[in-house]
Amino acid sequence: MRFDQITTSFHDNVPPFVEAEMDRLYQNIGSSMSQFRAYDESMDDVSTYVARDGEDPVAIFLFRRKQGKIHVMNEVIRIDHQEIKRFADAVFKQFNDVHVVLFKAIETDVGRLPFPYQRFNCLEDIAMDLPETPEKYLAGLGKNTRRNIKRYTDRLMRSFPSSQFEAYEKEEVESQFVREIIELNRARMSEKNKVSIIDDTEARHISSLAHECGLVGVMRINGRIRAGAISYRVGDCFYLNVLAHDPHYDDYWIGILCCYMTIRECIKRGGREFHFLWGRYDYKFILGASQRDLDTVVVYRSKLATMMNADMVLQTAWKGYMRQIKLWLKYSNGPVPKMIGRMVKRVADARGKVVRPVPIINESMLSHTPKK
């Protein structure tokens, strides 16, 4: 089939050419075979969509087809309006039993489609373009940040002359480095009376990716790792997964210094972009990044398909609106959201959970484009 000189095709497996072509197209850990292999024990049920301009692939999506729905595996990448339309059109013509196409955590400009759809913000990628040299990177940071980098570096070296930073790539990364950085993360969370999301299974995934495509920066004091940053490289782009430090060294800004030094190493290695991924933490913006919104987009074959999948329509809308409310409560500076946020927290602490109202389905749940 042909759309504006673009041809599309489907494969019931993942052809060998896909890995290199996806890295070329997206340079993104969220759309890489490295991550898919690390997190999926089996790829036997994964299919592939390829859009080509002549012989050259211009889009490749991996997906699973289950119970009339297609779940696209590619995440974090930018997919524009035309590509979503082309994919949905091709899917609905190719598979008569498919009524829903789901994209998760993509950057997109979609605003209108010939199909009913939902679009809600679900995450953010805090990212930045990297300059040509570490010196230009430092010069581009804010005045206070530059001053603090110098001040805390001097303080660290005066107090601990043995302090040193080192970076390791791929096969240079020892499993022990990864384990120690993860233990620092777990200790930090425990100090805050929280449980780290990095369980033993996730730790194995991180270690596997670090050996295959990792860049790991470590800060040592007296020979022991006191801070570490685990990131992954795909093409010219780097993606931070874990940043952790020993809380006993909070007064030395050691975590931020380790991250800053890791970013410098990425630049030295020809890095074009650095992605902190999700979480609106101050240190990411201090180090020069800005926010890129990531959305969930659900496309339905027809209005009848939306009624047939009313549970999915409701669930998608519920998650989207609840995220908007939570972000408003967390990041708005006015007294009203802060007061409501405190009330919600007190109720949650007292009852163990928040009682949620039942959502009502209406037209606003479809063709919804969130305000930025």
Task: Say if residues 93 and 257 touch (Cβ distance below 8 Å).
Answer: no
Place 370 in a pLDDT band, splitting at 50, 70 and 90: very low
How much of the chain exceeds pLDDT 90, in percent? 75
Place 253 in a pLDDT band, splitting at 50, 70 and 90: very high
Place 135 in a pLDDT band, splitting at 50, 70 and 90: very high
Residue 337: predicted pLDDT: 52
Beta strands 273-277 and 290-300 are: unpaired
136: domain CATH number is 3.40.630.30
Q: 64 pLDDT exceeds 50?
A: yes
What SS3 state is found at 55? coil
- Do residue 215 and residue 317 come from a single domain? no
- Do residue 157 and residue 216 come from a single domain? yes
d(CA 256, CA 250): 10
Q: What are phi and psi of 309, to 5 degrees?
A: -120, 40
Task: Say if residues 49 and 8 touch (Cβ distance below 8 Å).
Answer: yes
What value, to the nearest 5°, has the Cα angle with vertex 363 and ends 311 and 296?
60
Runs of H (alpha helix) within 40-112: 81-94
Task: Say if residues 152 and 252 touch (Cβ distance below 8 Å).
Answer: yes
User: 41: number of CA atoms within 13 Å, CB side?
Assistant: 2
Residue 349: predicted pLDDT: 52
- Do residue 105 and residue 15 come from a single domain? yes
What SS3 state is found at 313? helix
Give a yes or no: residue 87 inside a domain: yes
- Do residue 139 and residue 263 come from a single domain? yes
Task: Say if residues 225 and 285 touch (Cβ distance below 8 Å).
Answer: no
- Do residue 110 and residue 184 come from a single domain? no
- Look up tokens 């292999």; give the residue: 37
Residue 44: predicted pLDDT: 86
Tokens of 241: 């997964």
d(CA 82, CA 320): 23
Tokens of 93: 């013509």
d(CA 61, CA 51): 9
Query: Across residues 245-253, what is the average pLDDT?
Result: 92
Give a yes or no: residue 203 inside a domain: yes
Q: 127 pLDDT exceeds 90?
A: yes
Task: Say if residues 216 and 228 touch (Cβ distance below 8 Å).
Answer: yes
Give a yes or no: residue 355 inside a domain: no
How much of the chain exceeds pLDDT 70, in percent? 88
Query: Across residues 118-126, what is the average pLDDT?
Result: 95
248/91: higher pLDDT: 91
- Do residue 42 and residue 151 come from a single domain? no
Give a yes or no: residue 112 inside a domain: yes
- Tens of pLDDT, residues 312-365: 999 999 999 999 988 888 777 666 555 555 555 554 454 444 333 333 333 334
d(CA 348, CA 354): 5
Residue 27: predicted pLDDT: 96
What value, to the nearest 5°, has the Cα angle with vertex 263 and ends 123 and 273?
55
- Do residue 189 and residue 247 come from a single domain? yes
Lowest mean pLDDT among 29-43, 212-226, 263-277, 334-348: 334-348
Give a yes or no: residue 94 inside a domain: yes
Q: Can you give the residue range of the structural domain that contains 319?
A: 2-124+293-325
Runs of H (alpha helix) within 198-301: 200-213, 254-268, 282-286
- Do residue 263 and residue 179 come from a single domain? yes
Tokens of 123: 């995450």
Write down the pTM of the prediction.
0.85
80: domain CATH number is 3.40.630
What SS3 state is found at 178? helix
Residue 367: predicted pLDDT: 44
CA 47 to the chain's CA centroid: 22
- Do residue 105 and residue 162 come from a single domain? no
Cβ neighbours for 315, distance < 8 A, ≥ 6 positions apart: none
- Tens of pLDDT, residues 140-164: 999 999 999 999 999 999 999 999 9
Give a yes or no: residue 70 inside a domain: yes
Give a yes or no: residue 353 inside a domain: no
Residue 315: which H helix or E strand, with range? helix 310-331
Give a yes or no: residue 135 inside a domain: yes
Q: 212 pLDDT exceeds 50?
A: yes
- Do residue 120 and residue 154 come from a single domain? no
Q: Mean pLDDT over all residues of the chain?
A: 88
Q: 111 pLDDT exceeds 90?
A: no
Annotate 4-33 with b (16+ C-beta within 10 A) or e (fewer).
eebebeeeeebeeebbebbbebbbbbbbbb
DSSP annotation string for 337-368: HHHHHHHHHHHHHHHSS---PPP---GGGSS-
Q: Please tell me the total count of domains within the chain.
A: 2
Residue 197: predicted pLDDT: 87
Query: Across residues 70-76, what is the average pLDDT?
Result: 96
Residue 140: predicted pLDDT: 95
